[in-house]
Amino acid sequence: MTLQRGSWKVRLVTLLAGGLLACGGDDICLQCPEGTPTPGSSGVIVNGTIVSSNPTTAPSSITAIVCVGLEQGQSVTDCPNSFYADVNTDGTFTRKNVKEGAETIFFWVDSDGNGMIDPDDLLAQLSDSEGDLDRVQNGQTVTLSDIRILFLQDTATATITIGLTPTPTPTAVTATPTPANT
């Protein structure tokens, strides 16, 4: 058997590269604006499905805003902790890594595209008469289903469900066999 110089270095680099390539997926997102860091969930996940809006608005032109810590009588522009989520063409949205606390949810259409909430923009606040969103905690998922937005009345309704966020199960990294030198 002959030992080649540097072969252990090649094997080490190959093993490290394989280990790094095996990492990833939905359970890893370092410094992602809408992701959760490893391991497991950090913060709150808010997702929803818009089924209608009046006036009729393309769902993809709507932005969901999760405001945490808004005091009674304050407007969305006063929100101390805002988390934005773009709505997909099918009306669905997800915002991960939201701060825990009392959540107030708004739906907004940036009419002039300037990225700022203006008086002429369409804006509606989700009605939460049961107080379901008053004490949302880290590790929970808020699901808003059957969202109906009435922009001209500045309000929206939805079925609100709050549950525990499932923790991703990590998968073991297995070593890739190194072919024997012949």
- pLDDT, tens digit, 9 for 90 and up, residues 73-104: 899 999 999 999 999 999 999 999 999 999 99
**Model pLDDT, residue 42:** 76
Whole-angstrom distance, CA of residue 98 vs CA of residue 93: 14
**Model pLDDT, residue 170:** 63
113-123 pLDDT tens trace: 999 999 999 99
Q: In the predicted model, is pLDDT for residue 7 greater than 70?
A: no
Q: In this structure, are residues 152 and 55 in contact, taking their beta carbons and an 8 Å threshold?
A: yes
**Model pLDDT, residue 145:** 97
Select the more confidently predicted residue: 14 or 124: 124
**Model pLDDT, residue 166:** 72
Whole-angstrom distance, CA of residue 134 vs CA of residue 175: 48
Give the mean model confidence (pLDDT) for residues 29-37.
41
Is this model's pTM higher than 0.75 or not? no
Q: In the predicted model, is pLDDT for residue 40 greater than 90?
A: no
Rg of the chain's alpha carbons, rounded to an integer? 23
Q: In the predicted model, is pLDDT for residue 176 greater than 90?
A: no
Q: In the predicted model, is pLDDT for residue 18 greater than 90?
A: no
Tokens 């009729």: give the residue: 56
pLDDT exceeding 70 applies to what percent of the chain? 69
Neighbours of 20 (CB within 10 A): 10
**Model pLDDT, residue 91:** 97
Give the mean model confidence (pLDDT) for residues 31-51.
67
Q: How many residues does the chain have?
A: 182
